[in-house]
Amino acid sequence: DVVMTQSPLSLPVTLGQPASISCRSSQSLVHSDGSTYLNWFQQRPGQSPRRLIYKVSNRDSGVPDKFSGSGSGTDFTLKISRVEAEDVGIYYCMQGTYWPYIFGQGTKLEIK
């Protein structure tokens, strides 16, 4: 199975500052159809997960443009341009190229 490794696992950020989360896969996530199925999810405390980004860099409808995804192959990044209090939670990457789908361990974002 593909292994998804996120870093850091804990991310203290000052309000208004940017944040960046890395996600690495143990093999290339380029599908045979040419797409790369790498997703990013946010889970606020006490809430269900919410997808932010699909196929590396596509924001889900309603997701603020302060969230952006980038990367290719095995290395991916989620960036938040300016962290606000509502961004506190755990962020997960998930690969959807190979079965079984696999989540990363999660990165806990907190306000410094």
Partner 1 sequence: QVQLVESGGGVVQPGGSLRLSCAASGFTFSNYGMHWVRQAPGKGLEWVSFIRYDATNTHYADSVKGRFTISRDNSKSTLFLQMNSLRLEDTALYYCANLYSDPAYWGQGTLVTVSS
Interface with partner 1 (CB under 8 A):
1, 39, 41, 43, 48-51, 54, 58, 60-63, 90, 92, 94, 96, 99-106
Give min distance, CB of 16 to partner 1, in A: 26
DSSP for 28-74? --B-TTS-B-EEEEEE-TTS--EEEEETTTEEPTT--TTEEEEEETT
Give min distance, CB of 63 to partner 1, in A: 7
Minimum CB distance to partner 1 smaller for 57 or for 96: 96
Minimum CB distance to partner 1 smaller for 74 or for 95: 95
69 forms beta bridges with 78
Give min distance, CB of 1 to partner 1, in A: 7
